[in-house]
Amino acid sequence: MHSALKIPKYNLKQCLFGLHLLNDNVKQVAIVESEKTALIMSIEFPNYTWMSTGSLQGFKHEYLAPLKGTAIIAFPDKEGYVQWQKTADILNDKGFEIEVSKLLENKEYDDGWDLVDVLNYESEK
């Protein structure tokens, strides 16, 4: 929109999808890549506060900084575990509380699958 309106020197600052849900009552934050997955998982597993990075590369300090001090479990899409674990290791050394799940690294899941794909797969068994 800033381009269409020709706003000079506009500084776009993005954040996690669902960050507005963070409050003092949040006990466990779950982070996924896709916004769609965060929405569906919030219906299926409402005991977590679901957020999304918007991409594999969105799992970074800039986006995660507001969650420092909050317990986080991250669910990268299949094949994203190593990258997110490296980031989590760096951030955990800086006082974050991030656990990266290997759930999607299961051999029977296809590359690129996310939690919604697993829900669908498991329900079809």
CATH number of 19-124: 3.40.1360
* Residue 47, burial from CB neighbour count under 10 angstroms (0-12, 13-18, 19+): exposed
pTM: 0.88
Annotated domain spans of the chain: 19-124
Sheet strands side by side (includes 29-32): 49-52, 29-32, 71-75, 97-100
Predicted confidence pLDDT, tens digits, the chain (125 residues)? 667 777 787 776 788 999 999 887 777 999 999 999 999 999 999 999 999 999 999 999 999 999 999 999 999 999 999 999 999 999 999 999 999 999 999 888 999 999 999 999 888 87
51: its two tokens: 């957020």
